A and B are shown apart, each in its own frame.
Chain A
């Protein structure tokens, strides 16, 4: 069983179930929680975090609705091995890297064709 590292603050304006959901989501998206890994049962998690059962049920329910986890009747919840999701994550990080490249390019006075050349060079390097 994978150890979930989750912290819930009742002082926060954010509802407890949102906090739990966001943290598990983060761990799935970052790859810390691998696909098909069983999650702590909702009732156990409620006990561990000292929150109500409804709170964890709601968090898991939302995660399932968002396609991040799946339930096997009688066995509990598991992390979904969702390629589409991973893809989306990659695309987002490509966007970020490109943004940085453009920013740095502009700062050093590179033109668009010059940047494109550099991208082509890198692309071809990886193809060899």
Chain B
């Protein structure tokens, strides 16, 4: 399987922040969650992938083409957390404005999506709710036949139903072969049922990238009364209170815990929270 996204040693320096040798790849056909705290470098990475910020060093290939090759853009759909269409444009005006840029534009498809998503053809963009604006962005990008979707927080600020609908649109898109999605999110529960892979970035560097199930099966959450001194070095993001403790631990390290310790399956949220707590308070 070839890679839809390939990033090697991407570096970008800003005053007070830097992307440090960011490397990861996403095989074609998979859905990858891009997680990490605010300011970790998610948006900067996405922008570097699109040539919106100039990288200092490193190599980026999207759909097999090096960055700077604009022919790749035909097949890429990008959404940042704020949909960016002209406020007084209607979905019809948007089509007129966008269509000339894409050879593969499918007007019939666009109209089908507008109907499917319940978007009024003649309503001004500014009058749509946030969820509707997101769906409209999807309608646009799915209508030019994007094979690679790069989404920056597509579900943030949406109510639970709208979020579910957006995730369903993504699932529907993934049914066909050779379609890849990279999406950043803080709502890690969104990833549990859709992402194949996780790229976890923290303070400008990738701290994990790979199979989601591997990441989750490697860790568990441990809770108990008192953590033995010898196990402290294995505790990730340890939180202690008067009568107990909780932490994340690698499954390989749970041997030797006292019998009162309870372990349970880690979620992506657990992994992110405990790892971040470790790096911030260690």
Please report the C-alpha to C-alpha distance between residue A43 and residue B171 in the assembled complex, in whole angstroms.
9
Q: Is the CB of A50 within 8 A of B176?
A: no
Q: Is the CB of B213 within 8 A of A47?
A: no
Q: State how many angstroms separate the Cβ of A113 from the closest Cβ of chain B.
A: 54
Please report the C-alpha to C-alpha distance between residue A47 and residue B194 in the assembled complex, in whole angstroms.
8
Q: Is the CB of A15 within 8 A of B174?
A: no
Q: Is B243 an interface position by the 8 A CB rule?
A: no
Q: Which residue of A lies closest to B167 (CB)?
A: A50
Q: State how many angstroms separate the Cβ of A40 from the closest Cβ of chain B.
A: 11
Q: State how many angstroms separate the Cβ of B171 from the closest Cβ of chain A.
A: 4
Known interface pairs A10-B192, A10-B193, A13-B265; A53-B213 also in contact (CB < 8 Å): no
Q: Is A63 an interface position by the 8 A CB rule?
A: no
Known interface pairs A15-B217, A54-B30, A54-B211; A47-B192 also in contact (CB < 8 Å): no
Partner of A47, one of B29, B174, B196, B197: B174
Q: State how many angstroms separate the Cβ of B189 from the closest Cβ of chain A.
A: 10
Q: Is the CB of A47 within 8 A of B211?
A: no
- Chain A: residues with Cβ within 8 Å of the partner, total of 15
Q: What is the 8 Å Cβ interface bit string for chain A, positions 27-54, against chain B (1 contact, 0 not)? A: 0000000000000010110110011111
Interface residues of A in 87-115 (CB under 8 A from B): none
Known interface pairs A13-B265, A50-B193, A50-B194; A55-B174 also in contact (CB < 8 Å): no
Q: Please name all residues of chain B whose beta carbon is closer than 8 Å to the beta carbon of A43 when the two chains form the complex.
A: 174-177
Q: State how many angstroms separate the Cβ of B272 from the closest Cβ of chain A.
A: 17
Q: Is the CB of B175 within 8 A of A52?
A: no
Q: Please name all residues of chain B whose beta carbon is closer than 8 Å to the beta carbon of A13 when the two chains form the complex.
A: 265
Q: Is B252 an interface position by the 8 A CB rule?
A: no
Which of B171, B211, B265: most chain A Cβ within 10 A?
Answer: B171
B interface: dominant SS: mixed
Q: Please name all residues of chain A whose beta carbon is closer than 8 Å to the beta carbon of B192 when the two chains form the complex.
A: 10
Interface residues of A in 38-86 (CB under 8 A from B): 41, 43-44, 46-47, 50-55
Please report the C-alpha to C-alpha distance between residue A95 and residue B31 in the assembled complex, in whole angstroms.
46
Known interface pairs A10-B192, A10-B193, A13-B265; A53-B217 also in contact (CB < 8 Å): no
Q: Is the CB of A52 within 8 A of B193?
A: yes
Q: Please name all residues of chain B whose beta carbon is closer than 8 Å to the beta carbon of A51 when the two chains form the complex.
A: 193
Q: Is B195 an interface position by the 8 A CB rule?
A: yes
Q: What is the 8 Å Cβ interface bit string for chain B, positions 121-151, against chain A (1 contact, 0 not)? A: 0000000000000000000000000000000
Partner of A53, one of B172, B196, B265: B196
Q: Please name all residues of chain B whose beta carbon is closer than 8 Å to the beta carbon of A52 when the two chains form the complex.
A: 30-31, 193-196, 212
Q: Please name all residues of chain A whose beta carbon is closer than 8 Å to the beta carbon of B174 when the two chains form the complex.
A: 43, 46-47, 53
Which of A13, A15, A51, A52: most chain B Cβ within 10 A?
Answer: A52
Q: Is the CB of A54 within 8 A of B196?
A: yes
Q: Is the CB of A44 within 8 A of B175?
A: yes
Partner of B213, one of A41, A44, A54: A54
Known interface pairs A52-B31, A54-B213; A46-B265 also in contact (CB < 8 Å): no
Known interface pairs A47-B174, A47-B175; A53-B193 also in contact (CB < 8 Å): no
Pairs A–B under 8 Å by Cβ, sample size 18? A10-B192, A13-B265, A17-B213, A43-B174, A43-B175, A43-B176, A43-B177, A44-B175, A46-B171, A50-B171, A50-B193, A52-B30, A52-B193, A52-B195, A52-B196, A52-B212, A53-B29, A54-B212
Known: A52-B194, A55-B196. 18 other contacts (CB 8 A): A10-B192, A13-B265, A15-B213, A46-B171, A46-B174, A46-B175, A47-B172, A50-B171, A50-B193, A50-B194, A52-B30, A52-B31, A52-B193, A52-B195, A53-B29, A54-B196, A54-B211, A54-B213
Q: 6 smallest A-B Cβ distances: which pairs? A: A54-B196, A47-B171, A52-B196, A50-B193, A43-B175, A47-B175
